[in-house]
Amino acid sequence: MGVSGSGKSTIGPLLATALGVDFADADAFHPAANVAKMSRGQPLTDADRWPWLDAIGAWLDARGAAGGVVTCSALKRSYRDRLRAGRPAVRLLHLSGEAALIMARQAAREGHFMPPSLMASQFAALEPPAPEEGAITLSVAATPEAILAAALEALATG
C-alpha cells in the first residue's frame, strides 16, 4: 500500500518473486471509468473504490493458501478493513516517505495515466496505518533492493 508513486509497482513484483507467489497490480482491477476519471485529473470517491477493492480481494481469495502479492493504494482505514474482512492472513506493507520525494518520482515517471495533479488528493486521503493494523512500514528513501530486504525480514520476524 501507499500513495501513487510510492513504489508499489516497483517493489511488489520483487517481493512476489522472492516469495515465489503470484503478483497482481491494483491498476489492473480498476474499471475503465475509474481510469478515465483519474486520467481527467479527478480523484476517485469511496463509491468508485469499493468495487475495485472487492476485485482485489477476489484475486487474493483465488490464490488460496498459496497467497500472493497485490499492490493497492489502500489509502484509508476503511479500505484496508474491507480488504482484510474474512482474510485474516493478509499482511500490510506500507511504502511510506516524504511527500516531496514521492511526488518528484511520480512526476518524473512516464507513460502512466495518473497525473501529478492528483498527488495532493492522494496525500489528503492517506490515513497511515494505526498500530493495531500491524502494518510493516518501509521507507521509500531506500533502494528497491534494500526495501525488498527489509520487507522480507519484517515478514519473517513478524
Ligand X SMILES: Nc1ncnc2c1ncn2[C@@H]1O[C@H](COP(=O)(O)OP(=O)(O)OP(=O)(O)O)[C@@H](O)[C@H]1O
* Cα separation, 126 vs 27, whole angstroms: 17
* Cα separation, 48 vs 33, whole angstroms: 9
Which C-beta is closer to ligand X: that of 5 or that of 57?
5
Which C-beta is closer to ligand GCO: that of 95 or that of 151?
95
111-140 residues near ligand GCO, rule: CB under 6 A: 114
Which C-beta is closer to ligand X: that of 39 or that of 45?
39
Among 11, 44, 102, 147, which residue sits at the site for ligand GCO (rule: CB under 6 A)? 44
Which C-beta is closer to ligand GCO: that of 38 or that of 148?
38
27 contributes a contact to ligand GCO by CB under 6 A = yes
- Which residue, 147, 102, 144, is CA-closest to 122? 102
Which C-beta is closer to ligand X: that of 11 or that of 86?
11
| Residue pair 91/137 in contact by the 8 Å Cβ criterion | no
62-121 residues near ligand GCO, rule: CB under 6 A: 73, 75, 114
Residues 6+ apart with CB under 8 A from 143: none
Residues that contact ligand GCO, how many (by CB under 6 A): 8
* Cα separation, 4 vs 7, whole angstroms: 8
Burial tier of 132 (Cβ tally within 10 Å: 0-12, 13-18, 19+): exposed
Residues interacting with ligand X, by CB under 6 A?
2, 4-10, 27, 73, 105-106, 109, 114, 140, 142-144, 147
Minimum distance, C-beta of residue 27 to ligand X, in the bound complex (Å): 6
Question: At 73, is the secondary structure helix, strand, or coil?
Answer: coil
Among 11, 15, 37, 49, which residue sits at the site for ligand GCO (rule: CB under 6 A)? 49
- Which residue, 15, 45, 12, is CA-closest to 28? 12
Cell of 156: 519473517
Residues that bind ligand GCO (CB under 6 A): 4, 26-27, 44, 49, 73, 75, 114
